[in-house]
Amino acid sequence: MTNKNEDTFCKKMRKATREIHSISDALVNAKLAFGFLDDSVWADGLLIFYEIFRYLELAMIRWKHTEVGSLLQDELRRTEAFERDLEFYLGKEWTKNYNPRGSVTKYLNHLKEIENTEPILLLAYIYHLYMGLLSGGIILRKKRQVMQKIWPFKGSQTTVNNITDFGNSNIYELKRNMRDTMNSIAKTLDEDTKNKLIEESKMVFTLNNEIIRSIEGAGTILIKKTMYFVIPVMIFLLALFIAMRKV
């Protein structure tokens, strides 16, 4: 059992990435705020991370007899969940004309380079992305559900969230297992490798931020939804101004 006051490796990674992690949180909130209301923005948010999770899951299978593979839990496999959600939002033939955008390709190339040179560093990506999905991803899902209930301009209310559906698995237990496994692995590594993992953790969020910035439609949706409120208010103020001129 880990002592709560112990400065574990996972805590060290969290401290090292605190600043850039905060930037990521702000970007997600800014980009996906209207993804809560518009399926196309939500789908684009799924699309940018689909290839990344898919690559990492295949890498964990390729390296299943190493430390990299030890983080693979069946309950955490998300590739098929991504594909089911994307099929729902983009249609059954969404892959027909699909090509990863530049920022995603850059991310994938970086992962390939790591796997070819020092695969142990993939642990940084696996840990942060899956922990992020287990925490932030579920929070986003709940926010989206709430916003869709209270938003006055309702479209279709049918949504799917396979990506954040872990069935009967206990989220707390999944996160604890991930942390415990990562901390156990770190105890077997030399200081140089641990330092590299901490530095690579910063790159995780740097690359995440780049692909998050590429989410399409958020600005357009913001303007469109805002105008629903602005135009009636402007008309009211204009009518009030004209009425006062006549007094």
Residue 213 assigned ligand-binding role? no
> Helices 18-32 and 218-246, interaxial angle, to 10°?
60
Distance CA 83, CA 87 (A): 6
Residue 156 burial (C-beta neighbours within 10 Å; 0-12, 13-18, 19+): exposed
- Are the C-beta atoms of residues 104 and 51 closer than 8 Å to each other? yes
Q: To 5 degrees, how large is the angle CA 234–CA 237–CA 242?
A: 125
Residue 62 assigned ligand-binding role? no
Residue 55 assigned ligand-binding role? no
- Are the C-beta atoms of residues 83 and 53 closer than 8 Å to each other? no
Q: Decide: helix, strand or coil at residue 194.
A: helix
Distance CA 247, CA 242 (A): 9
CB proximity list for 68: less than 8 A, separation 6 or greater: 59, 60, 119, 120, 122, 123, 126
Residue 141 assigned ligand-binding role? no
Q: Decide: helix, strand or coil at residue 7.
A: coil
**Residues of the binding site:** 14, 21, 127, 179
Q: Which residues are annotated as a binding site for heme b?
A: 14, 21, 127, 179
